[in-house]
Amino acid sequence: MSFAELLAELPALTVQQRQLVMRRALELEDPPLSDDDTDLVEMRLAAHRQNPASSVPLEEMKKRLRAQS
């Protein structure tokens, strides 16, 4: 299927199907994490699990950032 044909088919998809197509397309652009990055993510996740109170909920962080502006 050509790119033009694919674009022509998009209006026939449901909203959910189009959202899935977009998510998958964005995932294709994300390179895989390096081993060092994966280790860092795992280390930070383990630290969070040991002390969940050390994190800040997203809404609280947004509020703090808005207050700085």
pLDDT in tens, 1-47: 888 998 899 999 999 999 999 888 888 877 888 999 999 999 999 99
Q: Looking at 30-57, list the stretches that DSSP marks H as alpha helix, in order from N- to C-terminal side.
A: 35-50
Within 10 angstroms of residue 54's Cβ, the number of other Cβ atoms is: 8
Model pTM?
A: 0.46
b/e burial code for range 18-43 (CB count within 10 A of at least 16 → b): eeeeeeeeeeeeeeeeeeeeeeeeee
Distance, CA of 17 to CA of 34 (rounded, Å): 31
